Structure 1
Amino acid sequence: MVELETRELRYFVAVAEELHFGRAAERLGIAQPPLSRAVRRLEHRLGVRLLERDRRGTVLTEAGAVLLDEARSALDAVAAAARRTRRAGTAERPLVLAAKAGASHEVLQRLLDAVEGHPVPLPVEVLLCEVGEQAHLLHQGRADAAIMHRPVDDLTGLDAEDLLTEGQVALLPADHPLAAHEQLTLAQVSNVPDLPMARWPRLDGTYPAGPGPEVRTQSQLAQLVALGKALLVIPASARAWQWPDHVAVPVPDATRITTVLAWPATSRSSAVASLVRTAAHVSASDATTPMLP
């Protein structure tokens, strides 16, 4: 079996991302000749060509593209293991809970209140992030648990406790004709010529096709809606961050969204286990709470 070292994986990733040995060597802070030798040794040990080099430049082979994906994942896993180990050995460290800024505010507040009210309060640090960042924070060991949403968030490699299932609303400019409706259908909000649907990035970072503006943050979206440049269908609980210039109209036929508490499936943290038990209790006690309209 071929054993790979993290150092040579870092070297290869730098070359594969830069596609230039000189730039990769500068990025790594080493001379170019030993970098070239290290990549050649790696190719020899693996028995495959990873890069094609000629006077026109450097390109990845099919095998090189596979190793690039695998090497990134492996390096992330090693870094995450180091972070989790350091965090586990730090006395009185808070549990880091990641959450999308502005999303599931009421659920998050109830969970934090329940944690605070426990006879032995668990110190929790809330790490606010943007859309789609929670999974990376968990896998990288930068967060211990996260508030996420099924089916829109990537829960691969994570365990989860359901907290709330709810409908969605269309967020519209207050002065738009559709804002006067008591409810709307997906068909009505999916094809509004003067108000295109804002486009969030997919899980792979690419954007779906469409005329609407590309957005990455809640603040971008909020201003675009207020300016009459976009609309979006979002979970009803996300209305916590809406502006006075916005109106939220229920969309009953939109996919229902489940807010979950997620954590790495490999976690052995007693603090995470305690948070999950508290979340399950909060979810059970709120089971009869009416959804936001």
Structure 2
Amino acid sequence: MEIRELQYFVAVAEELHFGKAAERLDIAQPALSRSIAQLERRLDVTLLERTSRKVALTEAGGVLLAEARSILSAVAAAERRTQEAAQKSPRVVLAVKTGTAGDLLAKVLDAYRAEPDAAEVELLLCEAHQHQRLLLSGQADVALLHLPFDPADGLDTEVLFTERQVAVLPTSHPLAGRAQVRSAEVAGLPDLPMARWSRPDGSYPDGPGPEVHNLGQIFQLIALGRATVVVPESAAVDLRRDLVTVPVVDAAPVTTVIAWPAQSRQRAVADLVRVATRV
């Protein structure tokens, strides 16, 4: 299989429409159709079921889509890291979820900066569940993840710390003065529905709460009395004055890890990981 064929197949598999995929790739639709048909003949399998109304992935097509994404991500990562290896000044891209790990991040960066051969660290702020894709595609070299919420397949990790979870509430709410609450109490609030975070595939669970992408957004909604959320305690360190946190005693603990692609051989990444685990 050729890289170009995989790129074409991924476009069709994601769009499930040959016309839209051709526009995305900036090629003619007949050429795209011929390329997919040639790929199916070479593999001797049907990758896409085509009718006059829709295009659907077969089971074999679903397998190839996952594999092709992984291959294309690895190729992109190899290109970027090879180019960076030729630069005189090494650089490490660290992906961090917006609004999280502020205190830890500052300590890690300060400690790493003091290393004799420290590389330049570029921060890449991202939304929930984006870290894995950024690492595997080569857009980031290392990331801070929160387990079990962030996917970590294909990544190596080192544990930094484990913490409890807290509910974030308006200071005026009846539960705001409690020493602790239980998950069922927070989830059952009729006036403050639980905010809904996106899943790794971009979809949202069903529920009455608003769809959210980052902590800044959810904190504003909570202050307006529109939602509540349960988050790791460190995510609410710099909380605005009109909000308060209450420990959720039966919520599963959250473990913060530093993660990097399993195939990474960058000395700067290894040094940053070593410093982070020490801090």
What TM-score results when the alignment is normalised by the length of structure 2? 0.92
Q: In the alignment, what sits opposite 1:147?
A: 144
Larger deviation, residues 34-43 vs 269-278: 34-43
Q: In the alignment, what sits opposite 2:128?
A: 131
Determine helix, strand or coil for the equivalent of 1:155: coil
Q: Structure 1's 8 and 115: CA in aligned 2 closer, same or farther, altered over 3 A?
A: same
- Tell me, in whole angstroms, the C-alpha distance in 1 between the residues paired with 2:51 and 2:162: 56
Q: Structure 1's 97 and 185: CA in aligned 2 closer, same or farther, altered over 3 A?
A: same
One-letter amino acid matched to 1:279: A
Determine helix, strand or coil for the equivalent of 1:211: coil
Matches within 5 A, 1:59-98: 59-98=56-95
CA contact (8 A) 1:165 1:257 kept: yes
CA contact (8 A) 1:102 1:240 kept: no
Q: Which runs of 5+ in 1 are unaligned?
A: 283-293
Shift of 1:100: 1.1
- Tell me, in whole angstroms, the C-alpha distance in 2 between the residues paired with 1:210 and 1:6: 41
Output one character per residue of 1:210-244: Cα deviation in whole Å (capped at 9) or x when no partner.
22222112222111111111111111111134222
One-letter amino acid matched to 1:275: L
One-letter amino acid matched to 2:208: P
CA contact (8 A) 1:131 1:216 kept: yes
CA contact (8 A) 2:160 2:276 kept: yes
CA contact (8 A) 1:172 1:231 kept: yes
Q: In the alignment, what sits opposite 1:290?
A: none
CA contact (8 A) 2:90 2:119 kept: no
Q: Structure 1's 32 and 203: CA in aligned 2 closer, same or farther, altered over 3 A?
A: closer
Q: Structure 1's 244 and 90: CA in aligned 2 closer, same or farther, altered over 3 A?
A: same
Q: In the alignment, what sits opposite 2:261?
A: 264
Q: In the alignment, what sits opposite 2:158?
A: 161
CA contact (8 A) 2:95 2:140 kept: yes
CA contact (8 A) 1:130 1:218 kept: no
Shift of 1:54: 4.2
CA contact (8 A) 2:131 2:143 kept: yes
Determine helix, strand or coil for the equivalent of 1:24: helix
Output one character per residue of 1:11-31: Cα deviation in whole Å (capped at 9) or x when no partner.
222333333433333332222
Asked if 1:205 corresponds to 2:202, the answer is yes
CA contact (8 A) 1:235 1:257 kept: yes
- Tell me, in whole angstroms, the C-alpha distance in 2 between the residues paired with 1:257 and 1:26: 43
- Tell me, in whole angstroms, the C-alpha distance in 2 between the residues paired with 1:60 and 1:253: 41
Shift of 1:171: 0.5
Q: Structure 1's 70 and 34: CA in aligned 2 closer, same or farther, altered over 3 A?
A: same
Larger deviation, residues 28-37 vs 126-135: 28-37
Shift of 1:134: 1.4
Q: In the alignment, what sits opposite 2:218?
A: 221
Shift of 1:90: 2.1
Q: Which has the larger radius of gyration?
A: 1
Question: Number of matched residues?
Answer: 279
- Tell me, in whole angstroms, the C-alpha distance in 2 between the residues paired with 1:140 and 1:270: 19
Determine helix, strand or coil for the equivalent of 2:197: coil
Q: In the alignment, what sits opposite 1:288?
A: none
Q: In the alignment, what sits opposite 1:286?
A: none
- Tell me, in whole angstroms, the C-alpha distance in 1 between the residues paired with 2:60 and 2:92: 40
Output one character per residue of 1:59-95: Cα deviation in whole Å (capped at 9) or x when no partner.
3333333323332232222212212222222221321
Q: In the alignment, what sits opposite 2:27?
A: 30
Q: Structure 1's 72 and 128: CA in aligned 2 closer, same or farther, altered over 3 A?
A: same
Asked if 1:251 corresponds to 2:248, the answer is yes
Larger deviation, residues 157-166 vs 221-230: 157-166
Asked if 1:230 corresponds to 2:197, the answer is no
- Tell me, in whole angstroms, the C-alpha distance in 2 between the residues paired with 1:120 and 1:36: 51
Q: Structure 1's 119 and 78: CA in aligned 2 closer, same or farther, altered over 3 A?
A: closer
Q: Structure 1's 261 and 9: CA in aligned 2 closer, same or farther, altered over 3 A?
A: same
One-letter amino acid matched to 2:60: A
- Tell me, in whole angstroms, the C-alpha distance in 1 between the residues paired with 2:50 and 2:182: 55
Q: Structure 1's 71 and 238: CA in aligned 2 closer, same or farther, altered over 3 A?
A: same
Shift of 1:142: 1.1
Output one character per residue of 1:173-206: Cα deviation in whole Å (capped at 9) or x when no partner.
1111111112212222121111111111223333
Q: In the alignment, what sits opposite 1:103?
A: 100
